Amino acid sequence: MATQVNNSVVKAFAILDLFSESRTEINAALVSRELGLNAVTAHRFLRTLEQVGALVAVSKGVYRLGFALVDLADRVIHHAELGRALLPVLEGITADMREASMATAFEADMVVCIARVVSGRSLSVDIRVGTQLDAYCTAHGKLWLSELGEPALRRYLEVMPLARLAPHTIVDRDRLLAELDLVRRQGHAVNDGEREEGIRAVAVPVRTRQGRMVAGLSLFGPAFRLTDPVMAAGLERLRAAAVEAGQLLQGPAATSA
């Protein structure tokens, strides 16, 4: 039996998807042009979305996103809910790679573990849900820091002492900035014994369709098992997992960088 779809709901979300960082306001003419709707229908959709608080009129016929969506986003992005949604993805990573995996959020300058799956091997690294980790010396943290705008990153570096936690911890500001630039360019981050000697990790971002990072995914374990070939294989598995996570969080149309 074919799945029944309400096309009006689909069109409403397509209208909301027209917004981006560079396009903060829309009108009926733009909706008509982008989505192929006639002007009357486009106007009716915009007025309806305004009525439910999804849009706010900033001038006659011009709309921006409404704060009702902020409330909904807060409910979705809550750590516990996000962690539960990502748990099946982590289970798949660990089943394939036989090493621990973790998902994180970023809060108050710290990386927060929101879900994890342990490998079950006799020697493994266990980080519990709720654990907070310094950003500058972890693979997840480098991902999150690389997403910050220049003012926020400058403030982080001003208030966060780069303490040496292990022999390979990056404690030089310029070297850390170069590392973050590399993370931005290659789309993943690595921790090679920087937080704890003998532990390696590789991490990738989970992004929205608009490119905003909403979570990090990683594979981690003892360095003697996470050799360079294993890290490379783990990176490819994580990239596939990030696509899967995007689809779980946003639907099949979502993609991940």
To the question of domain 7-71 being in CATH 2.40.30.20, the answer is no
Q: Where are the domains positioned within the chain? A: 7-71, 78-250
| CA–CA separation, 22 and 123 (whole Å) | 48
Which two tokens mark 168? Answer: 């390979």
HSE (side-chain half, CA atoms, 13 Å) at 94: 24
- Of 202, 193, 156, 200, nearest to 177 (Cα)? 156
Q: 7-71 and 78-250 share one CATH topology?
A: no
Length of the chain, in residues: 257
Q: What's the pLDDT score for residue 256?
A: 40
Torsions phi, psi for 19 (to 5 deg) = -75, 145
pLDDT tens digits for the chain (257 residues)? 445 668 888 899 899 989 887 889 999 999 999 999 999 999 999 999 998 888 999 898 999 988 777 666 665 557 778 898 899 999 999 999 999 999 999 988 999 999 999 988 877 777 889 899 999 999 999 999 999 999 999 999 999 999 999 999 999 999 999 999 999 999 999 999 999 999 999 999 999 888 889 999 999 999 999 999 999 999 999 999 999 998 887 765 544 44
The DSSP bridge pattern shows strands 132-134 and 199-207 to be unpaired
As a whole number of angstroms, the distance between CA 146 and CA 157 comes to 12
Q: Give residues with Cβ within 8 angstroms of 153, minimum separation 6.
A: 145, 180
Type of residue at 232: A
CA distance 82 to 215: 8
Assigned CATH for 78-250 = 3.30.450.40
- Does pTM surpass 0.75? no
